[in-house]
Amino acid sequence: MSDDLACARCADGECRSMAIDAISDLSISASVGANGRNIKDDVATIQEALNQVPKQSGGPFPLLAVDGLCGPKTRKAIAEFQVKQFGWGGTDGRVDPERRTIIKLGEFQERANAQTTGTATAGAPGSVSEFDRLAEMHTVYAKLPEAMSWIHAALRTLDRAEHVIQNTAIELTLDAAGRDFVLVDKYFDIIRLPKPRQLGAIQFVRRVFQNMRMCIGHFSQMTLIGTGYFQYDPTKQNPKDQHLAFTYFGGFTRVDSRTKRPPVNARNGLRMDAIYMATKVLGAYTLEVITNTIVHELAHFVGPENRGDGIRDHSYRHKPSFFKLPHFQRLRTADYYNEFAGEAKLGREVDNDKAKPRFIQLPEVIIR
């Protein structure tokens, strides 16, 4: 699959390869800021972009003079914007082409343009849609602990199923371990495999869930709103294509060979080490569907990068072919991971009915 294409989970429950549009037209030819090339036109572009950022979001006050000269005030403004948006760990005082600082500046530019043209519903700060966006991202991050409970339940189930295969399950837990083996077989079709291949399948699935745990099972900037792996979808497809989320296969471990950092998509300037949530449609879905989507996208995100072993979408739970896929494809299909984890935790199959009303509890406010 081309790096220009993302895997987008759509409203019908299926994922599609999708070319994600560029967020904005903001671009520079070379780096601006500390130890940058500081070409005059590029510096002026960044100065104008910084002036469109609200002070509470890290914008300069007073506004910068747009003179194309990268002096101490401009360098300070770049650093303060990075600290506000990415934390101290993401601060180098420089804006590079197609890297996350200019991407984030482009988002603010798009919102400012929306206000100027009278289309503030596209997400202008302070508008109703901006409030909704923040509320939905709070919901996503509030569901990460539940997603972690699904992941832990999946790992426990795999461990007990492995004891059954190795005949090491103690009598006290033998019945439960037997049920766990049946659940693993239900989703990954291992019962007809020879013992070594059964153990290999358990290890493959376990590694994917361990990577999920590594991704969201800790407290850091990567699990916080704004800087974390889960980002709101800033693209024009957010309201247009009705997808719930999208990410890049193996994005969790991808590294740019030139910069030795997580790569940026050449088509749209987006971070490839992120899962993007379509905040404009999430409100129509139940909290269980959101958790299910989180685990589904994590399977794509933390799975192997290479094409042969990558976690793709060979089928979906709502399709008649779902339980007919061969073992090899089940291991490499995202829906088996989220459906298996959900049933391991809930003791029943996941309810993917989005039509039920839901309430989001926020401090001092309830949104229906």
Question: Phi/psi class of residue 334: alpha, beta or left (left: φ > 0; alpha: ψ in -120 to 50)?
Answer: alpha
pLDDT of residue 341: 98
214-232: per-residue pLDDT in tens? Answer: 999 999 888 988 788 998 8
pLDDT of residue 65: 96
132-190: per-residue pLDDT in tens? Answer: 677 888 999 999 999 999 999 999 999 999 999 999 877 657 788 899 999 999 999 99
358 pLDDT band (50/70/90 cuts)?
very low
Higher pLDDT, 282 or 347: 347
* In the predicted structure, residue 12 carries a pLDDT above the cut 70: no
246-303: per-residue pLDDT in tens? Answer: 999 999 999 888 777 788 776 777 788 999 998 777 878 899 999 999 999 999 999 9
100 pLDDT band (50/70/90 cuts)?
confident
Mean predicted lDDT score pLDDT of the chain = 84
Contacting residues for 275 by C-beta, under 8 A, at least 6 apart: 229, 230, 231, 245, 246, 247, 251, 294, 297, 298, 301
Directed axis angle between helix 195-216 and helix 174-188, to 10°?
90
Domain ranges of the chain: 1-22+120-368, 28-97
The rounded distance, in Å, linking the Cα atoms of 227 and 107 is 14
The rounded distance, in Å, linking the Cα atoms of 232 and 133 is 8
Contacting residues for 71 by C-beta, under 8 A, at least 6 apart: none
pLDDT of residue 99: 81
186-212: per-residue pLDDT in tens? Answer: 999 999 999 999 999 999 999 999 999
